[in-house]
Structure 1
Amino acid sequence: MASENHRDTIFLTKQETERIRNTVTNRETKCMKLVGHGREQRDLKAAIAQATSACLIADMGGAWDSGVTHAKIQGGTLPAVAVGRPYPPCIASFRDLEPMKLADLRMDTHHHGRRLTVKRSSPVVSLAAVSWAMVLDDRGDDIERLEVCLHNSRHGEDVLESSSVFVIKEPYFTLTDQGEPTIRVDHPSDLIVSTTSLTLNNEANDYAEDAAEAEKIARRCKEEGNAALQRKNLPLAHAKYTQGLKVARQCVVSVTNSDLVRDIFRNRARVNLLLNQLDEAKADAKASIIGRGDQRSKDLDSKAYFRAGCAAYNIGEYREAKALFEEQQKLTPDDGTSANLRKIEMRLREQEIGTYNLTKIRAGLSRDCPRVNVASFTSNTMVKDSPGRGRGLFLIHDIPAGGLIMCEKAFCVVWGHESEALTAIAYDIRDDRIRVSPVGLHISTVQKLLSNPSQIKRVMDLFSDYQGDGKNAFGTEDGPVVDTFQIHDIISRNAFSPGSQFGEEAAEKASTGLWTCAAYINHSCIANARRNISIFISYDFSNDYDARQTALMTTWGFECDCALCVAEQADGPALRKRRWELAREADWFVERESWVNAKRLTIAKAQRLARDLDDAYDGTRYKNVSRLATQRIREWLTRASPR
């Protein structure tokens, strides 16, 4: 076991592990006993005072008694989350759900087919893994606790701070880890945030009784959206433009109204680009195209094609981006579009033939700009069934020695130095295991999918222990739907650490990323790359069989039965221990002795270590099987004795 002083290791004492386990299991027991019980009404003044006090404590850095369990680690605490009681997100639209009151809530119950409208009535307690506040029902005489778990921010703002009126779809009423009743929201799509002054019970057709009034309201919404954009309040600008579109599109169709709708679409496309909501940005920009021959219309359409092209480029749809920028160039030939087209040609070469200037790419990366601007090259591979291993990634043709198999840009990556990085301790009820969980990557992946629903299926197709409800509903008229429990399991089984690239980092804020093509590469302790067989990489590079098997089971949920593991298992504990001790001695030698200008005596010692390690392998069992423990010392000898 790693010591407490290792910065890349999170150390939990046995007592702390048991405390977390007991907290979760005690909550589960209480919830099971209370299923279906009626809700007890809170004292309004006391509830608001409780939230106000907790908000002050949180602002001063104290969050221990705020309804969230924390794990004590070396140097501080980490949030601890329970995994294992997943429930699907609501896939019904707001208008199809029946209204309910706070008084109708039942304990540890998902209120299917219902919706609850509430108004925030207290300060928001904002913590790393949860935000909560007290909310009133629409009568204003009943109050309850509302919490948003993990996905408590959107576009850099706490969701409970962003408005005062909310609708919870199919609310889940349960207990916190400390036994306090709460309305808990785990799926962001289950919470509708009202960012306008209009009440959520009004429909677009209620905005105005005639077309003239509707057009007047739509223009005011456009102006308010423009003002919000100028103040860089992007969520409010988006909400105002969206409200204006709903009103304007109910007007009697006229040239004036059509131009108003296009203007709002064009403006919202800009906001969507800034919010990285690329699907909607592209659709809005296309919807704003006028198509008339006068110069003003051409200039506006040039702007629309540019915005649509930028959205397509950032999604990775390079051929469509090329077509859109070419249309822009036809309308305004002298606006510098050729530079964008040259950039797209580079992406297409990368995507189609794997041509990369890796030195230039690496030189362009920095702590402030850590993400690559390249296309993925995956055309040498295909995904298909891999016997005994689910789906796997296969080569589809011969590749010369040293050739590029694939190069994939991360779907989502969070670097340890970024504010989004967050590690938590996850206790999984399903297998009674405690794991380190990269919840920062989990949160960022969900946010990206909510912003770009065209990418949801790509991620949801990856392996996860929890398969969701099987309905594959990725959106309603209220917006995109993402099952956060399924994303948690996908991240747990498919994400990797890219390592520290931009300075020292600790395990509490580790760099992690998700590659949706590379995720199909199955594990083997012996890597390969031969035609028409599954590509394997090693998920764990330890040469210690027992440590490797433990890590694979704990993190990835399987026991490896590759040729190396079968051979090492047959060795028995005594031989494995002797080989591990020799490998440690060889590793110490490699770290201590430089191969540059190594003396004959030093080389002879390295040769002796290599021979001793070889002797610790059975010649028959390890015929044509990699001997991991010898690799570092053999590499040292190759460099020290190039002849």
Structure 2
Amino acid sequence: MTAVMAIVEDENKDVLMLQLYYQEENERAAEEILEEGMLGFAEHNLAATAWKTKGNDHFKESKYHAAIEYYTKALDCSPTVEEAHTLRLNRSLTFLKTKQFDAALSDLEFGSTTPKPAEKALFRKAQALDNLHRYRECCEVLKVLRLEYPSNVAAKAQLTRAVNRLAEQENGKYRFKQLYMEATKLRPPHLDHSTYVGPVSVRASGSRGRGLFTTEAVRAGDLLLCEKAFAHAFVDTGKAGHNQDVTILINSETDSMTMGAQAELIRMIVQKLYRNPSLISVITDLHHGSYKPVDAFDVDGTALVDTFLVERIVSLNCFGCPLFSRESHLRAVDDDMSQKMNEEQFHSCGIWTMASYINHCCYSNARRAFIGDMMVVRATRDLAPDTEITFWYQMPVANGYGKRQKKFRQWDFECNCTICQDDRTMKENVLAKRRSLRADVLKYFQSRKGTGAAKIEIILATMADTYNRPAIEVPRLSIWEPQLALAKMYTQQKQPVKAIDSALRALASLGYVIDGGNLPRTTGTPMVVKQWGLMMDYLIDCWMLLSSAYRLVAPDLEAQAEEYARISYRICVGEDETFDETYGKLSDLNAGS
């Protein structure tokens, strides 16, 4: 992290140590900010043209911040209207180079000195609007540019791109395979795509502060949100030595330390807000706990960014993320049951501002997935209008109550979902019996000695008796995995009817209500998920197992089971364009289980 320290004198003639942090890496050398021997006054009596020349010279040397200062001095020297127009055009380009899109746009709002708008002004205005994700306005400016200057090839390409981003923003139509290709090539994987906000809105959520709610009825698998990160700090874990270059941020006031990508994320956000004050409220409106922000918004006309507030907001709102959730999903379903207790840890992280309003619930009704710096949020069940959307901050697993609650202390809340209520109110001797039975059944599977399925059935039935409430209210986290493992055992033993029964029991243990799937049945009766339960990655595997078993004994249900597998895949991975090519891998996993 770039840091600059200097001795300064304040207005009370007191000597202070001035420390500048959060500077942009590799953009501005420390000596360009504070040169040795620099005093707090500038040259005078230079004409606007002289300052402009200095600005141009520094621009050519890529010293953009210095160039901005000189263009500003030139504008302070009462230039002619034409000179002022040229200076603002020059300064706007320099602002674009330094990612100060608000300032560039401000310079370009000044009228042209000719009836016809300047070509450069229109193009730069479009660039500023594009970088602020104001795609509709960007398209309008580019249409004018194309009309006035039809030979501008770059404007034509820019308009095509802006139209595509606007379509994503308004319709939520993405080519997800294209996103994968881009994220595979780009480092960092910051994709050129826009945010889509579906049928959701931010509203008050009682004691939970604010939350995200549906504005209309949605179905399981529907896209609620596809959001580009406000800021994304990427750690390339596939690169040798990625653990050696670690950012460390020490807060001496609170005796706390932030390391790794999260520290880098703070710097990125501070810089982005400082350059573009119009974005400040997007971040500062997020949950920040008990921290009391400063009550000033600017100093001498320059935007004030409360870095301590940003640090607090990042600690409470950032998401750890993989490069692709599809890869994480395949790792999850390839792990054996004893390994799945440990949720995958991610080195990269980001801030997705709309998703930050989604509150936690272990028994969630939405799932998030990632492709590069894009987060995809889909409903995991059918939701009525005005339903609060929730996803888990910590994955609920069997015997994981203490670990979950410890994690939740970071956000200063205690989860009160039905899963946690059951863990909290159940007598310890019952919980101990449940843990013991689960350990026993896992040992049977891990021994791989062909233990009789009848014995496993008895243990699972005994485990079910340790629950007082139906699975539709409290998903049975201790049962669903061994129940699915039993279904796989029956598949290997070529007993499809028993495999179907066990797989459906696995789904029922997670709260699924399914009509028409049990055998025997009347041919032609459709299988319908009347209520979706808790969505887990392994359920795609469960539906594919059902599809294979139905092919043997109830072929009219094969395609229906596969369609439910596809919907589940869409929820867990974020898209279903890769379902068919992943299907082979899932089938291999089934066959090898």
Q: Does 1:534 align with 2:388?
A: yes
Q: Residue 154 of structure 1 contacts residue 447 of structure 1 at CA under 8 Å; is this kept in 2?
A: no
1:460 aligns to what? 284
Q: CA deviation at 1:265?
A: 0.9
Q: Does 1:342 align with 2:160?
A: yes
Instruction: Report the CA distance shift for 1:533/1:330 in structure 2 as closer, same or farther (over 3 A).
Output: same
What 5-or-longer segments of structure 1 have no aligned partner?
1-127, 167-193, 209-213, 252-256, 594-598
Equivalent position amino acid for 2:473 in 1:
N
Q: Does 1:624 align with 2:479?
A: no
Distance 2:467 2:252 in 1: 40
Map 1:501-540 to 2 at 5 A.
510-528=347-365, 529=379, 530-531=383-384, 532-540=386-394
Q: Does 1:376 align with 2:195?
A: yes
Out of 87, 100, 104, the position equivalent to 1:264 is: 87
Instruction: Report the CA distance shift for 1:157/1:557 in structure 2 as closer, same or farther (over 3 A).
Output: farther
Out of 326, 341, 349, the position equivalent to 2:143 is: 326
Out of 184, 206, 223, the position equivalent to 1:387 is: 206
Instruction: Report the CA distance shift for 1:390/1:153 in structure 2 as closer, same or farther (over 3 A).
Output: same
Q: Residue 265 of structure 1 contacts residue 288 of structure 1 at CA under 8 Å; is this kept in 2?
A: no
Map 1:81-96 to 2 at 5 A.
none
Instruction: Report the CA distance shift for 1:435/1:404 in structure 2 as closer, same or farther (over 3 A).
Output: same
Equivalent position amino acid for 1:274 in 2:
K
Instruction: Report the CA distance shift for 1:425/1:551 in structure 2 as closer, same or farther (over 3 A).
Output: farther
Q: Does 1:568 align with 2:423?
A: yes
Map 1:473-488 to 2 at 5 A.
473-488=296-311
1:305 aligns to what? 122
**1:487-540 deviation digits (Å, cap 9, x = unpaired):** 111111111111255999xx9993110011111101000112522121001001
**SS of 2:201's equivalent?**
strand
Distance 2:416 2:9 in 1: 57
Q: CA deviation at 1:586?
A: 7.7
Q: Does 1:546 align with 2:546?
A: no
Q: Residue 211 of structure 2 contacts residue 358 of structure 2 at CA under 8 Å; is this kept in 1?
A: yes
Q: Residue 137 of structure 1 contacts residue 143 of structure 1 at CA under 8 Å; is this kept in 2?
A: yes
Q: Does 1:422 align with 2:240?
A: no
Distance 2:186 2:444 in 1: 34
Distance 1:151 1:347 in 2: 30
Out of 20, 40, 60, the position equivalent to 1:230 is: 60
Equivalent position amino acid for 1:474 in 2:
F
Q: Residue 552 of structure 1 contacts residue 559 of structure 1 at CA under 8 Å; is this kept in 2?
A: yes
Equivalent position amino acid for 1:375 in 2:
S
Distance 1:352 1:562 in 2: 34
Distance 1:492 1:609 in 2: 46
Residues paired across the two proteins, number: 447
Distance 1:610 1:444 in 2: 53
Q: Residue 422 of structure 1 contacts residue 440 of structure 1 at CA under 8 Å; is this kept in 2?
A: yes
2:226 aligns to what? 407
Equivalent position amino acid for 1:556 in 2:
W
Q: Residue 464 of structure 2 contacts residue 479 of structure 2 at CA under 8 Å; is this kept in 1?
A: no
Q: CA deviation at 1:386?
A: 0.7
Distance 1:632 1:508 in 2: 21
Q: Does 1:283 align with 2:106?
A: yes
Instruction: Report the CA distance shift for 1:230/1:551 in structure 2 as closer, same or farther (over 3 A).
Output: same
Q: CA deviation at 1:479?
A: 1.4
Instruction: Report the CA distance shift for 1:524/1:583 in structure 2 as closer, same or farther (over 3 A).
Output: farther
Q: Residue 587 of structure 1 contacts residue 632 of structure 1 at CA under 8 Å; is this kept in 2?
A: no
Q: Residue 134 of structure 1 contacts residue 143 of structure 1 at CA under 8 Å; is this kept in 2?
A: no
Distance 2:265 2:279 in 1: 16
**1:88-113 deviation digits (Å, cap 9, x = unpaired):** xxxxxxxxxxxxxxxxxxxxxxxxxx
**SS of 1:527's equivalent?**
coil
Map 1:435-450 to 2 at 5 A.
438-450=262-274
Instruction: Report the CA distance shift for 1:362/1:416 in structure 2 as closer, same or farther (over 3 A).
Output: same
More off after superposition, 328-337 vs 307-316:
328-337
Distance 1:434 1:613 in 2: 48
Instruction: Report the CA distance shift for 1:132/1:314 in structure 2 as closer, same or farther (over 3 A).
Output: closer
Q: CA deviation at 1:351?
A: 1.5
Distance 1:421 1:485 in 2: 21
Distance 1:474 1:391 in 2: 24
**SS of 1:375's equivalent?**
coil
Instruction: Report the CA distance shift for 1:319/1:622 in structure 2 as closer, same or farther (over 3 A).
Output: same
1:103 aligns to what? none
Distance 1:604 1:441 in 2: 51
**SS of 1:406's equivalent?**
strand
Out of 168, 171, 175, the position equivalent to 1:357 is: 175
Identity %: 24
Equivalent position amino acid for 1:340 in 2:
Q
How does the TM-score come out when normalised to structure 2? 0.66
Distance 2:24 2:57 in 1: 23
Q: Residue 23 of structure 2 contacts residue 267 of structure 2 at CA under 8 Å; is this kept in 1?
A: no
Q: Residue 579 of structure 1 contacts residue 616 of structure 1 at CA under 8 Å; is this kept in 2?
A: no
Q: CA deviation at 1:468?
A: 3.4
Distance 1:615 1:398 in 2: 33
2:322 aligns to what? 499
Equivalent position amino acid for 1:566 in 2:
Q
Distance 2:149 2:294 in 1: 48
Instruction: Report the CA distance shift for 1:358/1:157 in structure 2 as closer, same or farther (over 3 A).
Output: same
Q: Residue 282 of structure 1 contacts residue 311 of structure 1 at CA under 8 Å; is this kept in 2?
A: yes
Distance 2:258 2:276 in 1: 29
Aligned-pair Cα RMSD in Å: 4.0
1:84 aligns to what? none
Q: CA deviation at 1:411?
A: 0.8
Equivalent position amino acid for 2:64 in 1:
L
Distance 1:165 1:588 in 2: 70
Distance 1:245 1:516 in 2: 37
Q: CA deviation at 1:207?
A: 3.8
More off after superposition, 617-626 vs 277-286:
617-626
**1:229-264 deviation digits (Å, cap 9, x = unpaired):** 2111222222222222222xx35xxxxx11111111
How does the TM-score come out when normalised to structure 1? 0.61
Q: Residue 293 of structure 2 contacts residue 309 of structure 2 at CA under 8 Å; is this kept in 1?
A: no
Q: Residue 497 of structure 1 contacts residue 511 of structure 1 at CA under 8 Å; is this kept in 2?
A: yes
